Each structure stands twice: as C-alpha cells, then as structure tokens.
Amino acid sequence: MSHLLLTVRDAGVRRGRRDILNHVTVNLLGGEFVAVLGPSGSGKSTLIKALIGLVRLSTGHVLVNGKAQSAHAWQGRLGYVPQDDIVHTGLIVTQALRYAADLRLPKGEHQAVRDTVLRQLGLWDHRHQRISTLSGGQRKRVSLAMELLSDPELLMLDEPTSGLDPALEASMMRLLASLAAKGMLVVATTHAMASLAAASRILVVHGGHIVYDGPPATLCSYFGVPTAEAVFGQLKSHSPVEWFNRFNRVGGRRGIVGS
C-alpha cells in the first residue's frame, strides 16, 4: 500500500458570519491513528469533512499526495463513517453488506471479504438481524463494516465509539490502531478518553482552532491536568485564540508539541 499524505494548509471554514474552523495546518500520514478530541460544537465534524472535501474551505487548501483534493482523488480510496447513521435500517446486516460490496468490489470476491469484516467487527452473531433491531453501537459497526470492505487508504470516522460500552469502546480503538498499523490513515473523532493511548496522535479542537497536536502521552502534561477528561475543563480557562497562540508559540504547527 502506498503511503498517503494529506497536507492541510491554513484551512478555514466559514458559516454565515462565523468562522467555525480556523487556520488548520497539519500533515497526516498513512499509518497514523489520529484521534480528534474537543468539546461539543468545537468543530471536530467540520474538520473531518474539510479533510475530505465535504465542506468548502473559505481559506487554505488540502492536498492529497501533493495534488489538489477532488472527488476523483478519493475514488475508491476513502472510507467515511459519519456521525449520524446512514445505514438503511430495513435491511438485514448481510444484505446491507452485500449491496455495499456490489458497489465497491469486483464480482466474485465478496463472500470471503464480507465474512472477514463481520468477524473483525464482532458482528458475526448479528449477521441475520434486521439493522433496525440492532443497538446503536452495533449499527455504528455495520457502517464501519461497509467502509472496510474496500480496504481504503484513508478511513475517517466521526464518533465511532459513541454508544459503545467501555469494553467495546476499547476494542474499537484497538481495531482502529490495528488498521493504521497496516498502513491506513485513520482519523477518528472520539470521546473515548480511557482508550486514547491506542491512538498514535491526538488533535484537540477548541472553538474551531487546533490547540494541541501531539502524542497521547504528553496530552495531560501539556494542559497541566491529571487526566484526559480534565483537559475539557482546562480548555475553558482561556479562549480558543489564547490556546491557539500558545500552541503556535511552542511550535505546535511544526508538529513538535510533546516531542
């Protein structure tokens, strides 16, 4: 698998008179598992969508392996699991996967790939169930299963751990780490604070600014708090712009926070 490089330079998104994403500058590489954290409404979903061209940028640009981003650039290389389920709930799990595979895979390769993905996501015992009867967490995993069928280079997930119990949350984070270990670039927004160590890199978004970009191990010390949960409270002590300025002062945009 060739290694993907996503280059984001000074990306901003404006809605009405509000800038909901500001001055985002990051390089993301195949093989990384990037967890995106931040309070509700801070701009995590907007960041995910900006990275894959689902929202128009008001400033800056995103390059995919050095080339301007376009639907064409992503053809067959992107898996995206949005925050809200888009799975057709009237279908049986195996039916949904078969339809998804028909769209994404050459004929004849389906069965084995589908079975592997079902097992990988712990959905094997639910494969004959109608999607409307699955729990929220199981439905989320069906959405992910559909995206994994085509073995994408970039996997974007918006809150893949919401609705999961702590054990499933930890196993979802481990699964995402294992996909990244195979070369995939995995970017996931999450509130799974207990499992952050599974990620190789953390981005904290606050008021539309990236205010931390570094390894999980130095997250707490950077914010001067004892636990990852406490980061959220600490963010309130200064404005997003103040946190952003501090991030830049310590060289965050050159990727040296925590190193």
Ligand X SMILES: Nc1ncnc2c1ncn2[C@@H]1O[C@H](COP(=O)(O)OP(=O)(O)OP(=O)(O)O)[C@@H](O)[C@H]1O
Compute how many residues bind ligand X; rule: CB under 6 A.
12
Compute the distance between CA of residue 64 and CA of residue 92 in angstroms, rounded to an integer: 36
Number of C-beta neighbours around residue 182 at 10 A: 11
Q: Which pair of tokens denotes residue 118?
A: 């079902």
Q: Which of residues 67-86 bind ligand X (CB under 6 A)?
A: 83
Site string for Mg ion, 38-67 (x = CB under 5 A): ------xx----------------------
By CB under 6 A, tell whether 214 contacts ligand X.
no
Element holding 202 (H helix, E strand) = strand 201-206
Instruction: Find the shortest distance in angstroms from Cβ 204 to ligand X.
Output: 11
Compute the distance between CA of residue 46 and CA of residue 61 in angstroms, rounded to an integer: 14
Q: Which stretch binds ligand X (CB under 6 A): 35-43, 68-76, 145-153, 237-245?
A: 35-43
Terminus-to-terminus CA distance in the chain, angstroms? 28
Would you list the DSSP string of 171-186? HHHHHHHHHHHTT-EE
Compute the distance between CA of residue 73 and CA of residue 51 in angstroms, rounded to an integer: 12
Instruction: Find the shortest distance in angstroms from Cβ 247 to ligand X.
Output: 17
Q: Which of residues 66-105 bind Mg ion (CB under 5 A)?
A: 83
Figure out which of the listed residues 22, 42, 138, 190 binds ligand X, where binding follows CB under 6 A: 42
Q: Give which of Mg ion, ligand X, none residue 15 binds (C-beta under 5 to 8 Å, depending on kind).
A: ligand X
Compute the distance between CA of residue 147 and CA of residue 81 in angstroms, rounded to an integer: 7
Would you list the DSSP string of 62-107? EEETTEE--HHHHTTTEEEE-SS--S-TTSBHHHHHHHHHHHHS-T
Instruction: Find the shortest distance in angstroms from Cβ 208 to ligand X.
Output: 7
By CB under 6 A, tell whether 44 contacts ligand X.
yes
Nearer to ligand X, 40 or 259 (CB): 40
Nearer to ligand X, 83 or 178 (CB): 83
Non-local CB neighbours of 33 within 8 Å, separated by 6+ positions: 176, 177, 179, 180, 186, 188, 198, 199, 200, 201
By CB under 6 A, tell whether 90 contacts ligand X.
no
Figure out which of the listed residues 23, 24, 34, 38 binds ligand X, where binding follows CB under 6 A: 38
By CB under 6 A, tell whether 240 contacts ligand X.
no
Pairing of strands 154-158, 78-81: parallel
Q: Give which of Mg ion, ligand X, none residue 187 binds (C-beta under 5 to 8 Å, depending on kind).
A: none
Figure out which of the listed residues 11, 28, 35, 46 binds ligand X, where binding follows CB under 6 A: 46
Query: What residues make contact with ligand X under the rule CB under 6 A?
Result: 15-16, 20, 38, 40-46, 83
Query: What residues make contact with Mg ion under the rule CB under 5 A?
Result: 44-45, 83
